[in-house]
Amino acid sequence: MKFEIQIARKLRLNSTGRSTTATLNVAVAGIVLAVVIMIVSVAVVTGFKQTVISKIGQLDSHVKVHQQQYDEMGNLHNSIEFSEEIRRLTSVDDSKIQSVYLIGETPCVIKSEQNFSGLRFKGLPDDYDLHRISDQIKEGKADLTGNGILVSRTTADKLGIKTGDRITVYFMNPQAVKLRKCTVNGIFASDFEEYDKNVIIGNISIIQSVNRWNDRTGSYLEINCHDINDAPAVRDAIFNKIKAAAEAGATAGLSGYFQVSSIQDNNPAYFSWLDLLNMNIIVVLGLMAFVACFAIIACLIIVVLNRINTIGVLKALGATNRSIQLIFVYTTMRIIVRAMLIGNAVAFLFLFLQSRFHIVKLDASSYFMSYVPVEYSHWLIWLNAGIFVISLLSLIIPSFIVSSIQPTKTMKFE
């Protein structure tokens, strides 16, 4: 093994002529380009998916628990009381659950001097973690105390309202239309058009007063996980716990029907679309791997063809075909490693500049964000390891051309 490595180190590839050097540089450039595209593609797609999932997780509950129950008159109501029994049934795994909140939602209409808009009023409790939506605040502040509300930029532009304005909110109640005077404390923009044009945010006490609920009653329970990917598991655990309690007759204080859903259930279009991105990245990686393999094979052939005389001499001295194959594999791998280092340097430079200065912009109305997000972590190690292994495998078959070279033909012109 030391013999092959020593010979490989002694081979000088920059003394094979201008045309050969230029051809070799083109092959190396192909490897560099393939490495850059693969790293940047995975970083962009991963960053895009994580950003979209994070935004969806800020706008919607990771897990929702609804209850439909009948009153004394036999009327069905979509409301849930956050009793100790409900709290017990929804406590399944503290290591996965981050928070549990009582949320209220009801249709409403906002009317200004210029226009009116039908919306969904989302009421949050006093102890709600407003850091989940503070990043979306563009004007004012995330203040929901009293009758303070947050409206989207879309709604504010449509109705001609701004922070500090007092507006009238009309609530559609089965008994009567009720109104509340609210103050616009902040204007937000989530980049999700459907959310921005349909939702305003306020305090749950407003909905409770409109519907004549007590301070422990709302529309549903919002359960948020430390990791959004745990939402389906938490949903199943809560459902199974409620089902087991019902079958055992341990829900004497409860009535009606329960519905437990995860954020993936409530937003299937977004998550299905994000899953399609995995197929796109597989196609890109496959194409770039093909380009890299083609460039690597070309690189090896160039090196071998321009060292035919060296191969003849080595064979005449008794070197085996396997040893000569290893010499040229080692030589080509040196070129590949150098190309991979250059490719990684270029890719990381672009990723750093993009993450720091947001050079490449996006249309927020189409892509839910204003710039191309990137994410790089431990997966880069596996990606580079995969590129190296594929490169090594692509050298095996072309290296057998060494065995077809005969010393008598290659040395007769020496």
**DSSP letter for each residue of 131-165:** HHHHTTEEEE----STTEEEEEHHHHHHHT--TT-
Residue 72 has a pLDDT of: 62
Q: Are residues 107 and 225 in the same domain?
A: yes
Q: What is the pLDDT of residues 365-407, one digit of tens each?
A: 788 888 999 998 788 888 889 988 888 888 887 777 766 666 5
Is the per-residue pLDDT at 37 higher than 60? yes
Residue 266 lies in a domain: no
Q: Are residues 305 and 253 in the same domain?
A: no
Q: Are residues 75 and 38 in the same domain?
A: no
Residue 179 lies in a domain: yes
Residue 357 lies in a domain: yes
If pLDDT is split at 50, 70 and 90, which confidence band does 174 have?
low
Q: What is the pLDDT of residues 350-372, one digit of tens each?
A: 999 999 999 999 988 788 888 99
Residue 111 has a pLDDT of: 83
Q: Are residues 168 and 78 in the same domain?
A: yes
Boundary-marking domain end, from 227, 261, 295: 261
Boundary-marking domain end, from 210, 232, 261: 261
Cβ proximity of 351 and 40 under 8 Å: yes
Rg of the chain, C-alpha, whole Å: 32
| Angle, vertex CA 217, rays to CA 101 and CA 152, nearest 5 | 60
- Termini Cα distance of the chain: 28
Q: Are residues 28 and 41 in the same domain?
A: yes
Q: What is the pLDDT of residues 254-304, one digit of tens each?
A: 777 899 999 999 999 999 988 888 888 888 888 888 888 888 888 877 777
Q: Are residues 249 and 385 in the same domain?
A: no
Q: Are residues 303 and 381 in the same domain?
A: yes
Boundary-marking domain end, from 261, 282, 315: 261
- Stretch among 51-55, 155-159, 171-175, 352-356 having the lowest mean pLDDT: 171-175
C-alpha 234/C-alpha 243 separation (Å) is 14
Q: Are residues 249 and 178 in the same domain?
A: yes
Residue 312 lies in a domain: yes
User: Average pLDDT for residues 185-199, to the nearest whole number?
Assistant: 93
CA torsion sign for 185, 191, 193, 195 is negative
Residue 176 has a pLDDT of: 79
Q: Are residues 162 and 15 in the same domain?
A: no
Domain that holds residue 76: 61-261
Q: Are residues 256 and 277 in the same domain?
A: no
Domain count across the chain = 2
Residue 278 lies in a domain: yes
Residue 358 lies in a domain: yes
Residue 48 has a pLDDT of: 92
Task: Output the pTM of the full model.
Answer: 0.83
Please state, rounded to an integer, the average pLDDT across all residues of the chain.
86
Q: What is the pLDDT of residues 5-32, one digit of tens each?
A: 666 666 655 555 555 577 678 888 888 9
Q: Are residues 198 and 278 in the same domain?
A: no
Is the per-residue pLDDT at 45 higher than 60? yes
C-alpha 296/C-alpha 333 separation (Å) is 9
Q: Are residues 52 and 65 in the same domain?
A: no
